[in-house]
Structure 1
Amino acid sequence: MNNLKNELEKIKADIIDFTKKFIQIKSFTGKEAEATKLVANKMKELGYDEVTIDSYGSVLGRIGSGKTKILYDAHIDVVEAKDEAEWKYPPFAAEIHDNIIYGRGTVDTKSSVISMIYAGYLVKKLNLCKDKTIYISASVMEEDFDGELLYRAIKENNLELDYVIIGEPSNLQIALGHRGRSMYKITTLGVSAHGSAPEKGDNAIYKMAKILERIENKQKEFDKLEGEKGSIVVSNIEARTASLNAVPDMCTIYIDRRLAMGETEDKVNKEMASFIEGIDAKYEIYIAEGVSQTGKEVTLRTFMPAWEISKENYLTQVAIKSYEECFNAEAPLFKWPFSTNGFATNGEIKVPTIGFGPGNLKLAHMKDERCHIDDLYKTIIFYSSVAKNC
């Protein structure tokens, strides 16, 4: 452990320099090319054995070529800062005050990417990867396509993995799973008419009103439950109308439905059917569509179930041991309340997966997003220790 910490001291200035450059890049989803290049070049500079960029723009660095294969992944895309004028410091200035770096992506999840890149360097420098292959994945388009681009990176690179560590913010706690996520559309149809004669039309917005009430009541039911539970929110509403002087003939709402363990697509579909019962409306799972930085189309059918890993799993035990070695304290365990790229690994391809990352998860997507520099260093040590102990 002392060797790790001593080597870390030698590269702290380089870490800060790279962190500032990385945060200053506006790597919005599908527009990560500059960040992709920066990350790939840094891996090469740090002596990674192999660095590749896949057909969508995700970066994959490799260290070692041993039997046990461990993947670390965090995403390089960020959401926009539409409230930029309200930030204490500009969201893409990467200013550091009182050893805290401010900026979009400092929590979600560029600090994790940085920690993984430098952990990979230390693992190779100190020969901690004997009989192991360590992959560092800096994936793209996570914000709109949870897990899909990591899944494609794994398949495109023909990776056969034993363990995965996901780098979403966790307040330096070990995440043993996440809540799932689904998105639905509900559409009501009406009949258009001139605004001066509404009785001749059938207002699609009015039809939607009862559905909205039912959805609101469903969330009130969730609020009364204890423990892990689902949630539901209407996140957007649209109407089709000939003009502002006409009766709308179509109304669509978008629903963000978070999933607890065991909540199936069949169960949620029945829930959606109950919302539209007796109303001229239809529901469907939302299909997310986008284009990668390389011009390739991406689609995702947005139903991603919850997943979890047991405390007894070997990877969990390694993480607990590593935490205790690094911080001389009992390892805190929890589950993320949001969905992550772990949907691809533990969910789709059934590889044992845990999570750990610097930063307060409540600051993700928030104004004045920020991360303490010391948390970044602690995460580098933890990631390195996990690689050593696996």
Structure 2
Amino acid sequence: MDRFDPAQPVLDLSASSTVLTQQICDVESVSGDEGLLADAIVASLAGAGHLEIVRDGDTIVARTNLGRAERVVIAGHIDTVPLNENLPTRYETIDGEAYLWGRGTVDMKAGVAVQLKLAAELTDPVVDITWMWYDHEEVSNDLNGLTRLAANRPDLFAGDFAILGEPSNSQIEGGCNGNLRAEIRTFGLRSHSARSWVGDNAIHKTAPILATLAAYEPRQVEVDGLVYREGLNAVGISGGIAGNVIPDEAMVHVNYRFAPSRSGEEAIAHIHETFPGYDIRIVDLAEGARPGLDAALAQRFLAAVGGEAKPKYGWTDVARFSAMGVPAVNYGPGDPLKAHADDERVRVSQIEDCEAGLRAWLTGAV
């Protein structure tokens, strides 16, 4: 293949998954600017006669229609958070371990590279496969490519099991915690700070809220054999008008990560029970997803990958599939602690392990 040009990318799906990761990462695709990479993905699959290709905006779906008894959906997003002098990619060795360094290597273009390579090569898998590569994951839900695709083509989500290529150190992470954000407000009476006794300080009234949060003991909840850790924390606080004014309003921004055994409504109720009598406004709510490892298909996947399934503490798009009745897990190369980091980097061995695990499962080798 000729020297790779990220300005006019041609993805080489015959290259190793590591080289393909590098090619995909070197095509800048910060959220809202995924078009060039989406074009390259479509062009790279043009000769794959075993795949039906559907494009919705910058979301690409490629699926087999072999009449298999079971269908699996395997998805990954193609956008990244903004760059910070971490492209083009480069290789580096740390303690004898080879890494690919650069924006998107972890979150989550290494997983996309593995998926693209397998999509092109697996012409006769043991299950039908729907591959999804979608845009706008790193921004608001209303822009997310899966939100749009679910509205336009809900039929494409049909499946018996789903895998999302979120970084998980190439180990299975089942389901995900739910996520809630609430604003808890306090109110007082504004006055001049020189005569503070005339007013009523709303910021001071946040003290019991902060004390409750500091003393809160989050649950550890077992759900279908996996133990999820919850968290209830202040993530922001605001109030005040001027340096000589007693404030009449203040707000504590609270984030609640709740186990998937608890519904969104139950999570809201828990916030109200924990902070009775306060003005509470729920500003964001995303349901969690149960592990999705009960089915025989999922158990075969676990056997092919090896290791022990773990819970996903953060929220991911597996919850979308779960809400549509498709059990889903996270499985992709990369340490999630390096996602969005300036030194974002993925172990080459994890890219190779992820490809080997998916290939063995999808071909029935294990």
- For residue 97 of structure 1, the aligned residue among 83, 92, 110 is 92
**Corresponding residue SS for 1:228:** strand
In the TM superposition, what are the counterparts of 1:6-155 in structure 2 within 5 Å? 11-12=14-15, 15-44=17-46, 49-55=51-57, 57-67=58-68, 68-80=70-82, 84=84, 90-98=85-93, 99-124=98-123, 127-128=124-125, 132-145=127-140, 149-155=145-151
Q: Distance in 2 between matches of 1:117 and 1:128?
A: 14
Q: Distance in 2 between matches of 1:27 and 1:205?
A: 42
Task: Name whichever structure is richer in helix by fraction.
Answer: 1
Q: Report the equivalent of 1:179.
A: 177
Q: Which runs of 5+ in 2 are unaligned?
A: 1-11
**Corresponding residue SS for 1:368:** coil
Q: Distance in 2 between matches of 1:254 and 1:46?
A: 49
Q: Report the equivalent of 1:236.
A: 236
- For residue 202 of structure 1, the aligned residue among 200, 203, 221 is 200
**Corresponding residue SS for 1:186:** strand
Q: Which runs of 5+ in 1 are unaligned?
A: 1-8, 85-89, 288-301, 324-329
C-alpha displacement at 1:138, in angstroms?
1.4
Question: Normalization by structure 2: what TM-score?
Answer: 0.80
C-alpha displacement at 1:258, in angstroms?
1.0
Q: Distance in 1 between matches of 2:317 and 2:141?
A: 5
Q: Report the equivalent of 2:302.
A: 320
C-alpha displacement at 1:174, in angstroms?
2.0
Q: Indicate if the aligned counterparts of 2:77 and 2:137 stay in contact, CA closer than 8 A.
A: yes
Q: Distance in 1 between matches of 2:254 and 2:67?
A: 45
Paired residues, number: 342
Q: Indicate if the aligned counterparts of 2:29 and 2:79 stay in contact, CA closer than 8 A.
A: yes
Q: Distance in 2 between matches of 1:308 and 1:334?
A: 9
Tell me: CA distance 1:177–1:223, structure 2 relative to 1, closer, same or farther (3 Å). Answer: closer
Q: Report the equivalent of 2:350.
A: 375
Q: Distance in 2 between matches of 1:184 and 1:244?
A: 27
Q: Report the equivalent of 1:212.
A: 210
% same residue: 22
Q: Indicate if the aligned counterparts of 1:69 and 1:134 stay in contact, CA closer than 8 A.
A: yes
In the TM superposition, what are the counterparts of 1:226-305 in structure 2 within 5 Å? 227-239=227-239, 241=241, 243-278=242-277, 281-287=278-284, 302-305=285-288
Question: Normalization by structure 1: what TM-score?
Answer: 0.76
How large is the RMSD of aligned CA atoms in angstroms?
Answer: 3.1
C-alpha displacement at 1:106, in angstroms?
1.4
C-alpha displacement at 1:372, in angstroms?
1.6
C-alpha displacement at 1:155, in angstroms?
4.5
Q: Does 1:341 align with 2:317?
A: yes
Tell me: CA distance 1:275–1:190, structure 2 relative to 1, closer, same or farther (3 Å). Answer: farther
C-alpha displacement at 1:370, in angstroms?
0.9
Tell me: CA distance 1:97–1:233, structure 2 relative to 1, closer, same or farther (3 Å). Answer: same
C-alpha displacement at 1:94, in angstroms?
1.3
Deviation larger for 364-373 or 20-29: 20-29
Q: Distance in 2 between matches of 1:284 and 1:80?
A: 30
C-alpha displacement at 1:10, in angstroms?
9.0
**Corresponding residue SS for 1:181:** strand
Tell me: CA distance 1:69–1:248, structure 2 relative to 1, closer, same or farther (3 Å). Answer: same
C-alpha displacement at 1:118, in angstroms?
0.8
Q: Distance in 2 between matches of 1:115 and 1:53?
A: 20
Tell me: CA distance 1:240–1:44, structure 2 relative to 1, closer, same or farther (3 Å). Answer: farther
C-alpha displacement at 1:375, in angstroms?
1.8
Q: Report the equivalent of 2:8.
A: none
Q: Distance in 2 between matches of 1:306 and 1:10?
A: 33
Tell me: CA distance 1:75–1:195, structure 2 relative to 1, closer, same or farther (3 Å). Answer: farther
